[in-house]
Amino acid sequence: MKTTIQRAKEQLFEIPDGKYTVLEALRYIKINMDRTLSFNQGCRSGVCGSCACTVDGKEVLACKTFLQDNQKIEPLKNVEVIKDLVVSKDKIEQNIQKYKTTIIENSQKTATNKDAKKIDIQSNCILCQSCYSSCPVFAVNKEFAGPYILSRVFRYANDIKESNQKEHIDLIQTNGIWDCTLCGNCALVCPEHLDPKNDIQALRNMSATYGYMDPNFASMSFGGGMDFGFNPNF
């Protein structure tokens, strides 16, 4: 079977017919055909997120996806390619700091199982960056906080142990929740079934309780001379 890998240039490899995951095919090529091929791998069981790439343009975990004949393997989109299929995680790590995606002020409350359940799914992110690769807003604006970060903000803003929810909400007003187009691509590609789009919608509702509103809506003028300008006391 044949597969094309996007490196500095596209390269076609022919490997023996068989049933391979994408990662097994990459390992076969590296061991038997080209030792310079670079890709990330870790747990090989869909837990660490390090082998994310695209196959025929769709974000996948290489260790959990079977390769078909004539498919094209490429690095994730919208992130810096270091070599072949290896991409940088610098941006996502910078954003973790920038958006303070952790407990800012500990409430000292004890979380019950019910409390933990409310933020369970958001806590399952494996940092694979597939959602960033699929996001049309991040593609054109690298200052956009991005789907994973916004899900993580949701997670900490709703944590019973957090007593400073407002600071989380304040930090995502610029290049954050209002820039998302709600296209849902991030939810479609997430291997852990997070739904950042839903979390963003929930964060918009929470923002309204702190007096924020969609800046695009706030700057709109409506007919009849009425202007629904931003009202900080809303």
Which chain residues interact with ligand SF4 by CB under 6 A?
49, 125-131, 134-137, 147-148, 151, 180-186, 189-192, 194, 196-197, 200
For residue 156, what is the enclosing H or E element?
helix 147-157
Minimum Å gap between C-beta 209 and ligand SF4 is 21
Minimum distance, C-beta of residue 194 to ligand SF4, in the bound complex (Å): 4
Minimum CB distance to ligand SF4, residue 92 (Å):
7
Q: Which is closer to ligand SF4, CB of 32 or CB of 181?
A: 181
**What whole-number distance in Å separates Cα of residue 70 and Cα of residue 214?**
45
How far is the C-alpha of 196 from the C-alpha of 95, rounded, in Å?
Answer: 15
> Which residue number, 62 or 125, has a Cβ lying nearer to ligand SF4?
125
Question: To which H or E segment does residue 67 belong?
Answer: none
Specify the residue, 4 or 201, whose C-beta has the smaller distance to ligand SF4: 201
Q: Are 10 and 21 in contact (CB under 8 A)?
A: no
**Which residue lies nearer to ligand SF4 by CB, 5 or 128?**
128
26-29 own/partner pairs: CB under 8 Å, 24+ apart: 26/62, 26/73, 26/85, 29/5
**To the nearest whole angstrom, how small is the minimum distance from the Cβ of residue 188 to ligand SF4?**
8
